[in-house]
């Protein structure tokens, strides 16, 4: 089964002012194993990054779905919580899952995640939205995966309600059953923002 992996890459980057700087940037990609993830990142970045680069860290990252909007290069990690009823015991349990959405601001990310999940048959909350350092995302690539005999990732390219978003889903994901641990939070920026507080700050700047 394919999973999402965060791969950190170190290389020398040329800045807009012409200067060169050694940077470490995280990328998110679909792969079956850590070995596949390392092979895939070299395939993807080999023609993009000039000069040599090295992989410094690979970590499995749990995202239920990724909503890509072409009008923004910023990624926001949205934690979504809801209650699920156990079929055997009839007891309710709280379930949390992470989603990734491209947006301009925290407010924009909140509105897009609400819109993208509007067809769900359960009431949900968005307790936190975090700006992610992810530079780019590499979903399932049929040609590359065939070369290294990797099982296909289920990629559902579905337009969202406004016709701009593309959804990338990992194989075997189930919104009603997957419980999420917060162990992967260390891979994101430690800038978890309360939505209401963030919107108030933005409104204050506008005034």
> Which range, 58-67, 132-141, 198-207, is most confident?
58-67
Distance in angstroms (rounded) separating the CA atoms of residues 140 and 73? 19
Instruction: List, for residues 149-194, the tens digit of each pLDDT value.
Output: 433 334 443 333 344 567 765 543 444 434 444 444 433 333 333 4
Lowest mean pLDDT among 9-23, 79-93, 101-115, 133-147: 133-147
Instruction: List, for residues 59-118, the tens digit of each pLDDT value.
Output: 999 999 999 998 999 999 999 999 887 777 778 888 999 999 999 999 999 999 999 999
Look up the domain containing 192 and give its range. 3-206
Contact 131, 79 (CB under 8 A): no
Could you tell me the strand order of the sheet in which 3-14 lies?
53-61, 3-14, 20-31, 136-138
Predicted local distance difference test score (pLDDT) of residue 54: 94
Q: Write the CA distances from 78 to 40, 111, 188, integer angstroms.
A: 26, 11, 11
Check whether 207 has a pLDDT greater than 60. no
Predicted local distance difference test score (pLDDT) of residue 50: 83
Predicted local distance difference test score (pLDDT) of residue 175: 43
Question: Which pTM value belongs to this model?
Answer: 0.69
Check whether 53 has a pLDDT greater than 90. yes
Q: 100: closest CA among 82, 75, 120, 125? A: 75
Distance in angstroms (rounded) separating the CA atoms of residues 175 and 49? 36
Domain count, the chain: 1
Predicted local distance difference test score (pLDDT) of residue 180: 41
């Amino acid at each position: 089964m394919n999973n999402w992996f965060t791969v950190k890459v170190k290389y020398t980057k040329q800045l807009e002012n012409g200067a060169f700087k050694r940077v470490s940037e995280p990328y998110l990609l679909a792969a079956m194993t850590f070995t596949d993830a390392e092979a895939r990142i070299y395939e993807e970045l080999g023609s993009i990054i000039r000069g040599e680069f090295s992989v410094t860290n690979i970590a499995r990252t749990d995202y239920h779905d990724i909503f890509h909007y072409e009008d923004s290069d910023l990624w926001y990690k949205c934690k979504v919580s809801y209650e699920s009823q156990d079929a055997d015991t009839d007891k309710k349990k709280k379930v949390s899952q992470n989603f990734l959405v491209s947006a301009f601001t925290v407010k924009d990310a909140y509105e897009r995640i609400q819109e993208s999940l509007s067809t769900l048959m359960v009431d949900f909350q968005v307790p936190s939205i975090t700006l992610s350092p992810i530079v780019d995302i590499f979903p399932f690539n049929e040609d590359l995966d065939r070369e290294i005999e990797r099982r296909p990732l289920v990629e559902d390219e579905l337009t969202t309600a406004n016709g701009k978003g593309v959804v990338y889903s990992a194989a075997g994901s189930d919104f009603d059953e997957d419980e999420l641990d917060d162990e992967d939070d260390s891979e994101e920026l430690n800038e978890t923002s309360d939505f209401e507080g963030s919107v108030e700050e933005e409104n204050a700047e506008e005034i």
